[in-house]
Amino acid sequence: MGTGAAAIEWRHGDGLVPYEDAVAEMEERVAAIRAGAAPELVWLLEHPPLYTAGTSARPEDLLDPQRLPVYRSGRGGQHTYHGPGQRIAYVLLDLDKPERGRDVRCHVWRLEEWIIAALRHFNLNGERRDGRIGVWVVGRDANGNTTEEKIAAIGVRVRHWVSYHGVALNVDPELEHFRGIVPCGITEHGVTSLAALGVTASISEIDIALRATFEEVFAAPLCRS
């Protein structure tokens, strides 16, 4: 099948895809990929508003359990928010392929690198931080103090060496909903979006940037750290 983007199916979700339905479809597809019955998949979609709790989620980080539905997810990570205006990219890849080397850490690195590359299309500088998975942007608050805010969250699960779940990029979501949780268990830094940073971008434009940058990241033979 090769390693390039052409060997991978790209799918766009219609409307707001219920989270439970997406998880069920991913689990079916993981089994099909493992069996060689279906190609790898990148699935771009949006969810209705909800909180998801990953395998490391702490009950005390759900600050307002009545605000939105809460779904207990099998992905890694802690609490996060999903909703309209947030581009979800579920990345279902066979990490057992020789060029991927059964390396989950490398897969997470590539997901971060992919978002960083896509953000460059909108003149935004996404960055990594040691000990904090995801993509961050640096700015200044009203007092001129340096700030670091998360613009994309990452949570993955791997079954039989096939990855699923993936990335949530904040394009123009309702940031107020993040107040109902401690996002990813981090209290000392906030959450932002392209819109909050003054970048006007449609979901379609985001998708074009994601498609344009995918192969340069995931076709690379090795990860950098």
DSSP assignments along 130-165, one per residue? TTEEEEEEEEE-TTS-EEEEEEEEEEEEEETTEEEE
**Per the residue annotation, which of 30, 44, 111, 184 is the catalytic one?**
184
Looking up tokens 């979006």 gives 193
CA end-to-end span of the chain, whole Å? 28
Radius of gyration of the chain (CA): 17
Closest CA to 54 of 80, 26, 68, 73: 73
Q: How many CA atoms lie within 13 A of 115 on its CB side?
A: 31
Annotation marks residue 184 as catalytic:
yes
Going by C-alpha positions, the residue among 99, 214, 75 that lies closest to residue 158 is 75
Point out the residues that are catalytic: 184
